């Protein structure tokens, strides 16, 4: 669940991510999100649907501990579609910081906050609808580590 709060306007996105773990501390992958309902602008312009997707990178120091920090950066493309079927693409960057809790060896829950930097729209129907702003998200992650039985790097 992803809650965006730009320009005193709230919206909700849902999506997922697939990542590959490298050395238990770095994760590289692909993420996607989509608005659950059309986003209604503050100025009562045309509502629009929003999607974004792209790569993400995470640094997770101390991932073997029950509670540990998580630092993320995602970058990718976005698509806004008005109810009148006007489409416009954009680019977004989203750095975030959060905390992650290992519930089981294969199940984690995380809470993160960050700031989305989004290119502004150019079409008149979307012109006043910048999506840049702060966000908060809650994620449930599951999977397994290929290095779970080897807590030490063999090169130590």
Tokens of 86: 């006007």
Q: Can you read off the two tokens belonging to residue 80? A: 């806004």
Sketch out the chain's domains with CATH numbers: 2-142 (2.40.160.20)
Q: pLDDT per residue over 69-128, tens digit each? A: 999 999 999 888 888 888 888 898 999 999 999 998 888 999 999 998 888 777 665 655
pTM: 0.79
Give CA separation, 116 vs 11, 91, 100, 156, in Å. Answer: 13, 10, 20, 39
Which residues are within 8 A (CB) of 43 and not within 5 positions of it... i.e. 6 or more apart?
128
Phi first, then psi, for residue 139 (nearest 5°) are -130, 145
- Higher-pLDDT residue of 4 and 117 is 117
Q: 136 forms bridges with which residues in the sheet?
A: 3, 113
């Amino acid at each position: 669940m992803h809650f965006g709060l730009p320009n005193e306007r709230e919206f909700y996105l849902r999506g997922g991510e697939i990542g590959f773990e490298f050395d238990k501390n770095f994760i590289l992958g692909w993420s996607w999100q989509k608005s659950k309902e059309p986003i209604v602008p503050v100025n009562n312009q045309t509502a629009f649907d929003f999607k974004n997707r792209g790569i993400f990178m995470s640094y997770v120091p101390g991932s073997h501990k029950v509670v540990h920090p998580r630092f993320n950066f995602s970058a990718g493309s976005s698509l806004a579609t008005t109810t009148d079927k006007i489409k416009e693409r954009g680019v977004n960057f989203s750095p975030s910081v959060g905390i992650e809790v290992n519930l089981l060896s294969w199940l984690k829950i995380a809470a993160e906050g960050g700031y989305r930097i989004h290119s502004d729209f150019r079409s008149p129907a979307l012109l006043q609808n910048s999506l840049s702003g702060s966000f908060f998200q809650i994620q449930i992650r599951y999977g397994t580590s290929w290095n779970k039985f080897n807590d030490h790097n063999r090169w130590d």
